[in-house]
């Protein structure tokens, strides 16, 4: 249980900088490559939980790697190598300061907003008469501004993004097009596994040559919500909760323990037994999404393993 990676402090040859996000650390190697290390940190309501989740970093990194390979024919991405189960290496990119959130169903944040009486999210209308987890007539894009570690991401409309000059109209048109294409492909992959891709978020950046590429993660349990397709309609008709694979079960546990990341609230203590159930759920999601058995990496000394693999790659 203690063998989790919650922080990194590497110093690689020609390393220029390191950026530490909520769950990843990104090392800049001489402005020639970015080394992204997926830790076992768990973030919910934009707050990093005190304890790591065993194998979570490996699961996120390997799902993202597989999904980038499965979508690179329709959307270019930043990835060039994965020398370690927790590591992705790719092109240096300047990230866009928005997250492209796309929702096929009224779930999670959208459902909470809808229940509060709102019928518009990020400038996009939500039809009357929907129940939680109903399918939208067509997927809606509801962007969020990128947050620094510990700060909340904020909903923002397309008009506000353009008005503030956060993204140019020409670039934003590409981001929207790529987002819809990725969601369509992700939905098809999910359907082939007996799952429904409910909603997800994508992040994009520009390479040195000005090419817009997909960065960060894609279709992982941290960035996406999945339902089991079998029984979905029946559960909706009966008003029952959907059987899902995502991080939402963690959010619901936190809500039940009086935490939603609001000022003055304290993160509830996660017991070792609960942390193990979270790890098991992440493994279950990996196996369902990929259709492959999850193979646990050696975690006897995670940092040393990662460092050795990255150094070997950089030498080659």
If you count DSSP H runs as helices and E runs as strands, how many of each does the chain have, helices first? Answer: 8, 18
Q: Cα(219)–Cα(200) distance, rounded to whole angstroms?
A: 7
Q: What angle do CA 133, 134, 140 make, to 5 degrees?
A: 95
78 Cβ neighbours under 8 A, 6+ residues apart: 34, 90, 91, 93, 205, 207, 213, 214, 215
pLDDT tens digit string along 154-191? 899 999 999 999 999 999 999 999 999 999 999 999 99
pLDDT recorded at residue 148: 53
Q: Cα(286)–Cα(76) distance, rounded to whole angstroms?
A: 23
Output DSSP code: residue 84.
Answer: E
Global pTM reads 0.89
pLDDT recorded at residue 316: 86
Output DSSP code: residue 296.
Answer: P
228 Cβ neighbours under 8 A, 6+ residues apart: 194, 195, 196, 242, 243, 244, 245
Residue 261 to residues 49, 146, 151, 246, 264, Cα–Cα distance (Å) = 11, 17, 10, 19, 9
> How do strand 224-228 and strand 212-215 relate by DSSP bridges?
unpaired
273 Cβ neighbours under 8 A, 6+ residues apart: none
Q: Cα(199)–Cα(112) distance, rounded to whole angstroms?
A: 14
Quote the tokens at residue 39: 């830790």
Query: Which domains are seen in the chain, by residue range?
Result: 97-203+229-246 (3.30.470.20)
Residue ranges of the chain whose pLDDT lies below 50: 1, 149-150
Q: 3-state SS of the chain: helix, strand, coil percent to 5?
A: 35, 25, 40
Residue 192: closest CA among 289, 74, 65: 289
SS3 of residue 145 by DSSP: strand
Give phi and psi for 31, each to the nearest 5.
Answer: 55, 20
Neighbours of 70 (CB within 10 A): 16
84: which strand partners?
Answer: 87
pLDDT recorded at residue 252: 86
């Amino acid at each position: 249980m203690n063998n989790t990676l919650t922080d990194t402090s590497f110093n690689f040859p020609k390393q220029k900088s390191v950026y530490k996000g909520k769950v990843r650390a990104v090392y800049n190697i001489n402005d020639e490559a970015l080394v992204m290390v997926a830790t076992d940190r768990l973030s919910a309501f934009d707050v990093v939980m005190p304890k790591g989740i065993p194998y979570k970093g490996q699961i996120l990194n390997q799902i993202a790697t597989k999904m980038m390979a499965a979508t690179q024919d329709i959307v270019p991405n930043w990835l060039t190598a994965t020398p370690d189960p927790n590591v992705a290496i790719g092109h240096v990119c300047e990230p866009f300061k928005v997250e492209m959130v796309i929702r096929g169903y009224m779930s999670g944040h959208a459902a909470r907003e809808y229940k509060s009486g709102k019928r518009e999210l990020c400038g996009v209308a939500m039809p009357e008469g929907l129940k939680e987890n109903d399918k939208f007539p067509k997927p809606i894009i509801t962007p969020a501004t990128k947050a620094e570690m510990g700060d909340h991401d904020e909903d923002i409309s397309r008009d506000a993004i353009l008005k503030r000059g956060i993204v140019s109209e020409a670039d934003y048109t590409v981001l929207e097009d790529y987002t819809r294409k990725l969601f369509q492909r992700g939905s098809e992959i999910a359907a082939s596994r007996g799952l429904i891709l409910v909603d997800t978020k994508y992040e994009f950046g520009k390479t040195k040559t000005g090419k817009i590429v997909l960065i960060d993660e894609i279709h992982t349990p941290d960035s996406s919500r999945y339902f089991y397709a079998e029984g979905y309609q029946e559960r909706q008709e009966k008003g029952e909760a959907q059987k899902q694979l995502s991080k939402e079960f963690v959010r619901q546990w936190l809500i039940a323990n009086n935490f939603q990341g609001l000022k003055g609230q304290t993160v509830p203590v996660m017991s070792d037994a609960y942390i193990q159930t979270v790890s098991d759920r992440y493994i279950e999601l990996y196996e369902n999404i990929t259709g492959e058995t999850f193979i646990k990496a050696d975690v006897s000394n995670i940092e040393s393993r990662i460092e050795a693999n990255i150094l070997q790659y950089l030498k080659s």
